[in-house]
Amino acid sequence: MADKKITYITGLGRRKTSVARVHMRPGSGSFVINGLEKDKYLPTEEYRKNVLAPLKSTDNLKKFDIVVTVRGGGYTGQVGAIVLGISRSLLKNDETLLGKLKEFGYLTRDSRMKERKKYGLHGARRATQFSKR
């Protein structure tokens, strides 16, 4: 039996503490995140729209099957990481999409992270309450 090698186009996306590994291949438009369908994994319609935004803006909505493995963070961070991963894999597939993806800001890594707690403080910047006596 001949082994048929499936070639994937990969992209890595990060946001806050989330890391998404995106595997794309030409197909019918299925979208799987951590083994679940996109609609079952993502709780709100807004998250689902955001995840599909790079595909819609480049007219590739039903051209690729996408498998995503995402770890860490919450839904917002994971969606941001998935968007960046999809955008990077689309760019690997077709470099003429660079202008469109940049125009909508899909290739920019959002570097905002939670600031760490410092010693002597209650949080990152919250100091102890002033006491007169």
The CATH number for 94's domain is 3.30.230.10
Per-residue model confidence as pLDDT tens digits over 75-97: 999 999 999 999 999 999 989 99
* Within-domain flag for 117: no
Percentage of the chain modeled with pLDDT above 70: 97
Q: Produce one character per residue of 27-45: b if its CB has 16 or more CB atoms within 10 Å, e if not.
A: eeeebbbeeeebeebbeee
Please compute the mean of the pLDDT values over residues 18-36 and round it to a whole number. Answer: 93
- pLDDT at residue 69 greater than cutoff 70: yes
State the Cα–Cα distance between residues 88 and 12, nearest whole angstrom.
Answer: 7
Task: Give how many domains the chain has, as a whole number.
Answer: 1
Crossing angle of the two packed helices 75-93 and 45-57, in degrees rounded to 10? 10
Q: Average pLDDT in the 36-42 region?
A: 93
pLDDT band at 7 (very low <50, low <70, confident <90, very high): confident
Structural domain includes residue 31: yes
Averaged pLDDT for residues 47-60: 92
Domain containing residue 31: 9-103
| 90 within 8 A of 55, measured Cβ to Cβ | yes
Residue 127 scores a pLDDT above 60: yes
Cα separation of 103 and 117, whole Å?
36
For the segment 107-126, the average pLDDT, to the nearest whole number, is: 94
Would 4 be classed as within a structural domain?
Answer: no
